[in-house]
Structure 1
């Protein structure tokens, strides 16, 4: 099998409201966890408790994601300010 080589340049990454997107997703995961929590007995009886824990894991990972994208956003702004100052 031949080695794959790209035929065109990769597009620039899309920048948008990353912090808001990750925060919204985290809130959604936690809301789904809270909505399912009263039905824990039904989930346990049918072997579907993993649904609850998946939502809780999504919320927890989302908190890490919020921390990460906020730090990334701050670093991008610092680099832009340093580049503007250096001109």
Structure 2
């Protein structure tokens, strides 16, 4: 069976990680606020930890948001440093 030649990997897709993580974090906090008034009925049915799980998800989302912003800024600084150290292109006319 002949092997198919390997193709080069495509460049990675750019996504707005800060917006994605920020949206998820907001959803965790909204879920916490929605479940909080029902804490007693959730407690009686054995699901009293759900609001606290949502609160923990929101807090972890804040950590993720900090990480994504730091990563985005580091990538931006790296690209700017690479652009300034590249010599100008010379024309071969």
Shorter-chain TM range is 0.7 to 0.9
Larger Rg: 2
Q: How many residue pairs get matched?
A: 81
Query: Hey, what's the Cα distance between the residues in 2 that align with 1:34 and 1:62?
Result: 16
**Shift in alpha-carbon separation, 1:8–1:56, aligned structure 2, 3 A:** farther
Structure 2: give runs of 5+ residues left out of the alignment: 1-5, 87-93
* Mapping for residues 4-83 of structure 1, pairs under 5 Å: 12-83=11-82
Question: Higher relative contact order at CA 8 Å, sep ≥6: structure 1 or structure 2?
Answer: 1
Query: Hey, what's the Cα distance between the residues in 1 that align with 2:10 and 2:47?
Result: 41
Deviations 1:21-79 (A, max 9, x none): 10010000000000000000001111101211111111010000000000000000000
Query: Hey, what's the Cα distance between the residues in 2 that align with 1:14 and 1:49?
Result: 40
Structure 1: give runs of 5+ residues left out of the alignment: 1-6
More helix by share: 1
Query: Hey, what's the Cα distance between the residues in 1 that align with 2:44 and 2:11?
Result: 49
RMSD: 1.6
**Shift in alpha-carbon separation, 1:29–1:81, aligned structure 2, 3 A:** same
